A and B are shown apart, each in its own frame.
Chain A
Amino acid sequence: MNIFESIRISFRALAANKLRSGLTMLGIIIGVAAVVALMSIGRGATRNITSRVEGLGSNLISVSSARVVRQAGVGAQSTALYYSDYQAIAQDTNNVVGISPTYESSAQVAYSANQSQFSVTGVTPEFASVQAYTIAQGRFITNGDNAAESRVVVLGSQAATDLFSGLNPMGRDITINGINFAVVGVLASKGSTGFFSGDGVILIPLETGYSRLFGGRALVNGKRTLSSVSLSAANPNIVNSVISQVEYILRRDHKLTLTETLPFSVSSQSQALSTLTSITTTLTTFLGAIAGISLFVGGIGIMNIMLVSVRERTREIGLRKAVGARRSVILMQFMVETITLSLVGGILGILLGAAIAGVVTLTGLITTYVSLDVILYSFFFAALVGLFFGIYPAFQAASLRPIEALRYE
């Protein structure tokens, strides 16, 4: 009596009750399919976000003001990030290949009758290299534009489409809060869509913004402020060192001690990436756990059916024991039956789950990612469910006393 004999006997028993075996398996199929499909959707979402953030540049560090509670009971206050902070950072940091100050403001932007609220960003020429933009048409904002406070604008690809609905925007004028700006360039798409897209930007020279558009909102204590300063570190390995330098400069210039909370956020893309990844990973795990519950329920279904099966086949078990089957052989036979049910169910479930993930990708909602480890986990988990829920019925069968089993009606 070897394992192959056990498998053969078990397959025959399962085949004898095809409908029942199928329905029992369905519980596992649905459970595994749910796990695979949901995990694939979660993994897909993680990959989408990762690739988008990486598209923004992995050496990127951004500095912006953060609201912090300075004194108990006073509430959160923000400290302005001054233009002078940018100048100090630009002067005093090492290993920085690009630095880009920006001021971002909401404004009414219109092309003929097509008008809506946009975010308009004042930038310097370095913005393009630091944020990894390339020009599709025309040119980017130059130092000359800033020096002359020119009324020129560069549009992100999505912004161009939104405003001009397919017309070539080059050489045409748009109005920003009623002021005419000439479109001198259109950026190439970064290739991603959704809330991390960088294709919706409307860029003007920073100096033009200060003098003509942002007005008093951009001034605190009579000094120019910035929304953020972006730095491009020379390579990804020194990102953390650059962050320390920037934090040191900000503390120095704002006269903050080391124990005080820095009222600025100095973060790298890789930090943002790890935060986002941890969120989506948690979400994926959560979805997987919910699907796991249905797999668990499927396991209970198997156990239930196996208990019925053991009772139904009491005489058969008695006979097998009477002609010399050992306890372990009977145990094995029933274990193989449950494990077969759960493994075949697991394989079918993986196929179904992958198919569902494929359909989700086809709908264009989200690009799912069926990874090998998810498949292996599901398969392993299904086997474990079979093992766990199979033990009790198999043990019951093996423990039957032959004489009583043979008398069972």
Chain B
Amino acid sequence: MIELENVSKIYKLGQSKVFALDNINLMIQASEMVAVMGPSGSGKSTLMAILGCLDVPTSGVYRLEGQPVENLSDNQLAQVRSRKVGFVFQQFNLLPRTNALENVMLPLLYDGVHGKARIEKAKAALETVGLADRIHHHPNQLSGGEQQRVAIARALVNDPTILLADEPTGNLDTKTGDEIIGLFQKLHEEHGQTVVYVTHDAFIARHTQRIIRLVDGKIISDEPVAHPLVAGTPRPEDEWKAS
């Protein structure tokens, strides 16, 4: 369960202050699948960074599974990131010159999982994302969609409670993007993980259970999706434009 209480994030740009997040109150239940939408600069990425413990709020309280994170040390935050959070980025952020298996093993390495257990877990994660036959490929030998699936495998290898996806389909074509959202749906259904999914794409967003819209650091709407789309639903002609 994720709880944000009066959370603000303020950046100082010279003399002026920029409210990247402005007094956000938000609650996301365990095993919910939520889309976050909003124009560029609306604070989506800042919100994700705070949810993922990559950054801390300037003010307000963030509770992850009931535990406030603002008092945690750097090392404790690192541990939260490695055990509770799986992050998927727009730019994949795979290590070059490192094969898929080793990329996926990275969070386990930092969590002190050793030897065979590490390899087995990483292989299982790659199997889950459908890349069992690509484990020894390097990122430059994989397509964009495959690279993103390696990144997803890396995000879920340590069995985190929440999966945060920051525009994971932003660098992919729509067909591959539809496959990726399908994969998230599958993970959500099979593993019951909480998924927070940032996207510009309204069609993608309608695959989730709830859509939160941000503008200028504020939540302007927060609505459930009446009938989430099933993966593989053909895209309507007029719906592929960014919202």
Contacts and interface: CB of A to CB of B under 8 A. Distances in A.
Same complex for A and B? Answer yes
Interface of A: 1, 5, 12, 16, 315-316, 318-329, 401-403, 406
9 contacts: A1-B110, A1-B112, A319-B93, A321-B78, A324-B78, A324-B83, A324-B111, A403-B54, A406-B93
Interface of B: 49, 52, 54-55, 74-75, 78-79, 81-83, 87, 89, 93, 95, 97-98, 106-107, 109-112, 154, 158
Contacts, number: 60
Contacts of A316: 95
Given A321-B78, A325-B78, A326-B78, A406 B112 contact: no
A326 B93 contact: no
A320 B110 contact: yes
Query: Ordered nearest first, which 7 A-B pairs have the shortest CB separation?
Result: A324-B82, A324-B110, A323-B107, A403-B54, A403-B55, A319-B93, A326-B78
Given A323-B81, A406-B54, A315 B111 contact: no
A324 B107 contact: yes
A329 B81 CA distance: 15
A104 B54 CA distance: 89
Contacts of B78: 321, 324-327
A403 B79 CA distance: 16
B97 A322 contact: no
Given A323-B154, A406-B54, A406-B89, A329 B110 contact: yes
Nearest to A399: B74
A352 B110 CA distance: 39
A327 B74 contact: yes
Given A12-B97, A319-B95, A322-B81, 12 more contacts: A1-B110, A320-B106, A321-B54, A321-B81, A322-B87, A324-B78, A324-B82, A324-B107, A326-B74, A402-B81, A403-B54, A403-B55
A329 to B, nearest CB: 6
Contacts of A322: 52, 54, 81, 87, 93
Nearest to B86: A323
Contact of B79 (A12, A324, A327): A324
Given A12-B97, A322-B81, A324-B83, A1 B55 contact: no
Contacts of A406: 54, 89, 93
Contacts of B109: 1, 5
A318 B49 CA distance: 12
A12 B75 CA distance: 25
A211 B124 CA distance: 109
A325 B110 contact: yes
A319 to B, nearest CB: 5
B97 A323 contact: no
